[in-house]
Amino acid sequence: MTIHKEGYKIIAVTFLSLLTLNIILYSLTEIALLRLGFSIVSLVFFYLVLQFFRLPKRINTSHPEELVAPCDGKVVVIEEVEEPEYFKDKRIQVSIFMSPLNVHANWVPCEGEVKYVKYHQGLYLVAWHPKSSTENERTTVVIQRKTGQEVLLRQIAGAVARRIVYYVKPNQQVNRNEQFGFIKFGSRVDLFFPLGTEIVCKIGDITKGNETLIARWSK
């Protein structure tokens, strides 16, 4: 397991800030218990920051007709909805909620060509809020297979996550085991599939990005 590149700066700033605070505290007090307590809190906090940016090595060997989870988290929504931004018709939505303790990398769920990318500024409602999908800071990415089938991925910021990063651009070819983005400190990823797609996950399932099977393309 390695540290994701998105975490380098934050980890360095966190380390230097905690080190500075500990030096200041040690210079201001000789109370051993207070010094020890603050040092322990600092170590725990720094460990949590490291956890936010961990990047496990995962190799996807799924069948081309299968779509895997783009992120770690928990399936919280499976329903038929109207997708208003790109498709403008009925789709099957699967939403995966990412807690601050999850791996935050976002993987490509299937091979294909990026047909659409758009970043939206927005609010920071809690990720499970019904309006977070359309009103929060978010990025929409659409991938099209050679067969013409398309899947829409939407990265959604939450009350804690304040920074969405995406790496893809229109007309780019993407493959399994590649990352299309990163959401700092958690939030949610929505997937929108064509009607008739076989959804193999269920609400409450715990997902692993680039591993857990989510759906199969319809024949």
pLDDT at 91 (0 to 100): 97
Residues 158 and 200 in one domain: yes
pLDDT at 108 (0 to 100): 96
* CATH classification of the domain holding 89: 2.70.70.10
Q: Is 173 a member of any domain?
A: yes
Q: Are strands 179-183 and 105-107 parallel, antiparallel or unpaired?
A: antiparallel
Residue (of 194, 16, 12) closest to 92 by Cα position: 194
Q: In which residue are the tokens 């995962």 written?
A: 58
Residues 87 and 145 in one domain: yes
Residues 106 and 194 in one domain: yes
Final residue belonging to a domain, choices 35, 55, 75: 55
Average pLDDT, the chain: 89
Residues 127 and 35 in one domain: no
pLDDT in tens, 69-114: 999 999 999 999 999 999 999 999 999 998 888 888 999 999 999 9
Q: Is 60 a member of any domain?
A: no
Residues 173 and 91 in one domain: yes
The stretch 145-168 carries a mean pLDDT of: 85
Residue 35: which domain range? Answer: 2-55
Q: Given a cut of 60, is residue 42 above it in pLDDT?
A: yes
pLDDT at 6 (0 to 100): 87
pLDDT at 162 (0 to 100): 58
Residues known to be catalytic: 187
Q: Name the band, by pLDDT with cuts 50, 70 and 90, for residue 143.
A: very high
Calculate the CA 184 to chain-centre distance. Answer: 8
Q: Is 174 a member of any domain?
A: yes
pLDDT in tens, 121-138: 866 565 555 555 666 788
Residues 7 and 97 in one domain: no
DSSP per position, 6-67:
GGHHHHHHHHHHHHHHHHHHHHH---HHHHHHHHHHHHHHHHHHHHHTEE--------TTEE
Residues 27 and 111 in one domain: no
The stretch 202-208 carries a mean pLDDT of: 96
User: Is 5 in a helix, a strand, or coil?
Assistant: helix
The stretch 48-72 carries a mean pLDDT of: 89
Q: Is 61 a member of any domain?
A: no
Q: Is 73 a member of any domain?
A: yes
The stretch 16-41 carries a mean pLDDT of: 93
Q: Given a cut of 80, is residue 183 above it in pLDDT?
A: yes
β-partners of residue 118 are 140
User: Which tokens in the block code for residue 120?
Assistant: 């939206």
pLDDT at 212 (0 to 100): 95
Q: Name the band, by pLDDT with cuts 50, 70 and 90, for residue 170.
A: very high
Q: Is 19 a member of any domain?
A: yes
pLDDT at 1 (0 to 100): 67
Q: Full-prediction pTM beyond 0.75?
A: yes
Residues 28 and 122 in one domain: no
Q: Is 164 a member of any domain?
A: yes
